Structure 1
Amino acid sequence: MPMNNYRSLKNSCIKVFNERYKEFDEDIYLLAFFLHPQYKGAVIHNTQFERIQKTALNIWKNLGHKKTSGLELRAQLRKYLDQNNPYSAPYSNNDGPFQ
């Protein structure tokens, strides 16, 4: 197969991947990923963490909670990110709600 065909295939694959990525680049999915225990400790960039905090706080506010408890939620999210107590326990594949 000529090299141009490989480049064309590569570019087509990248285009499809990028389009699919955009479909799932939603703040609520990012928050869900962040909170899932199996992904605890995954590297989260500061800009992504800001999106996570904003999303969680918007949900919190929409549930009728006040600013004071929102500040506590923000602090808890930071503890979760930094894996401080009580969020420092390791996750096991055997952990789960039906075990």
Structure 2
Amino acid sequence: MTDPITAAQTTADLHTLPTGRLTRYDGAAHVFLDDINGLVQWLDATGGYTTCRPAGPGLVRWTLITHTEPRGDGTATPILVHSLALACELVPDELTTAAA
């Protein structure tokens, strides 16, 4: 079984993507970014869809749900890429277009 952090880091390295902090939870890799524009980079490179949820007073958490490229056996590792933003902040159109 592939370690989710290793799989996410390999994907990031392959596509020159920002990683911020990486952690694993429930079989998936979680990437925490400090810049919402990094989500667009991940979306462009790996596809997926986005969600936006409240994260505290005046804050929202954007999450990209994606995965690694399929391995030879057809499996892929789920990757969730997160970034905080102000609720009133304009976000890139790509993120709202990819919203679930």
What TM-score do you get using the length of structure 2 for normalisation? 0.29
Q: Which of structures 1 and 2 has the larger relative contact order (alpha carbons within 8 angstroms, sep 6+)?
A: 2
* Structure with a larger share of its residues in strand: 2
Which of these two proteins has the greater Rg computed from alpha carbons? 1
* Structure with a larger share of its residues in helix: 1
